[in-house]
Amino acid sequence: FMALRPGTWADRLLSFFAFMGMSIPSFFFALLLLIFALQTGWFPTGGSFSPDYDTLSLAGKVWDRIHHLVLPVVVLGTSGVAGLMRLMRGNVMEIMNADYVRTARAKGLPERVVVFKHILRNAINPFITIAGYELGALFGGAALVEAVLHLQGMGNLMLQAVLSQDLFLLMGSILIGAVLLIVGNLLADIALKFADPRIRYE
């Protein structure tokens, strides 16, 4: 959307938020959202579930978990999504000036066909590749966010292992992070195979 309408107010607004999301440290953003939650009372300020979690119904338990995940998901997802937005915008703007796109428009093809079939399909390859790395990056950036939001997760566990000098726990945590990175790259390669028919795996 940003690349298809460059220079418009929507493009400038989304670009501003993308730059802000890429620039602000995740732990500082978590602190800001924590203050916001304390002032408004709209979201829980810590933990993975409420004290009365065991007394809730199944639907209530699901909603309670989702309610507690809102702040961590927003914090961890903002920087990754912002970077992917900027990457996709640059790719789309570059491909919009390609000869085959101008040829498709000169043939009188509908703009929707030009955008989805000729522009996005050729611009999405770097997006898929970088998105595969985000799975491992999320694991690495979660430690400080979990500490700020008082969450018990793998990132916080790794941080505690460093502080307590627990070598074996730290090695296990790093191994899990490496596995996540490998899985992310594998999923990205599989997605590239379906997105780009020119790619062949022997």
b/e string for 88-104 if b means 16 or more Cβ within 10 A? bbebbeebbeeeebeeb
Q: In whole angstroms, how far apart are CA 32 and each of 24, 72, 122, 148, 169?
A: 11, 12, 38, 10, 31
Which domains does the chain carry?
9-195 (1.10.3720.10)
Higher pLDDT pick, 174 / 47: 174
Residue 74 CB partners (closer than 8 Å, separation 6+):
33
- The 10s digit of each residue's pLDDT in 30-84 is 888 888 888 887 887 777 777 777 777 788 788 878 888 888 888 877 877 777 7
Output DSSP code: residue 201.
-
pLDDT greater than 60 at residue 1: no
pLDDT greater than 70 at residue 197: no
